[in-house]
Amino acid sequence: MNELISPDTDLMKRAAQIRLLILDVDGVLTDGRLFFDDDGRESKAFHVRDGYGIKLVQERGIEVAVITARYSPAVAHRAHDLGIKRIFQGCSDKNLAYTELKIALGLDDAVVAYMGDDLLDLPILTRVGLATAPADAHPEVGCRVHWRSAQQGGYGAVRELCELILRAQGHWSAIIARAAGVLP
């Protein structure tokens, strides 16, 4: 987590309100590179720490969703592994998917966090209560968000965001205590 964040900042207030975390895939949950085998099958690499962060926020009642412009069976498999039920793939208009999701869940923009890394993410990033990006996001994205991870996409940026939200909501100490075996 960034050392400059203090509990009384606007950022922590924003993070404390989050009820829905939406993630882009390429460049956020992955490093943005695409791998194809000789038969044209695509594969992606996901960081296990990001997955654990997602599970931690889900345990605290925060819904997690994915909105991505591309379609990939690997994304569907990873989302299933993590218990993410709301997956929007092949979205040429991410903003439309965001609006549909928000209406379906009955949520306001203020309680939504989004992590995106490129220009296609800007329409959502300008609406949500907590707009975030990985360290290596496109400069036009990075200068328009409330917070940037110290980590690059696919290398723990999502985990860092999850920890920020959990700290802001007062859950982090209990998570650490449980991990250390102090609490059941």
Segment 165-177, tens digit of pLDDT: 999 999 999 999 9
d(CA 117, CA 104) in angstroms, rounded, equals 25
Count of domains observed in the chain: 1
d(CA 19, CA 45) in angstroms, rounded, equals 27
Give the start-end residues of each E strand in 142-183.
Answer: 147-148
Q: What pLDDT is recorded for position 182?
A: 76
| Start-to-end Cα distance in the chain | 26
Q: What pLDDT is recorded for position 6?
A: 53
Q: What pLDDT is recorded for position 3?
A: 43
> Is residue 88 a part of any domain in this protein?
yes
> Is residue 47 a part of any domain in this protein?
yes
Q: Could you tell me the CA-to-CA distances from 25 to 37, 61, 106, 171 in Å, in that order?
A: 20, 22, 24, 26
DSSP 86: E
> Is residue 167 a part of any domain in this protein?
yes
Q: What pLDDT is recorded for position 43?
A: 86
d(CA 63, CA 28) in angstroms, rounded, equals 17
**Host domain of residue 137:** 7-180
Q: What pLDDT is recorded for position 184?
A: 58
> Is residue 2 a part of any domain in this protein?
no
Give pTM, 2 decimals.
0.92
Q: What pLDDT is recorded for position 1?
A: 38
d(CA 38, CA 2) in angstroms, rounded, equals 42
**Percentage, residues of the chain above pLDDT 90:** 85
> Is residue 1 a part of any domain in this protein?
no
- CATH number of the domain enclosing 139: 3.40.50.1000
Q: What pLDDT is recorded for position 4?
A: 46
Q: What average pLDDT values come out for the chain (184 residues) when binned by 10 residues?
A: 57 97 97 89 93 98 97 95 97 96 97 98 98 98 96 98 97 92 71
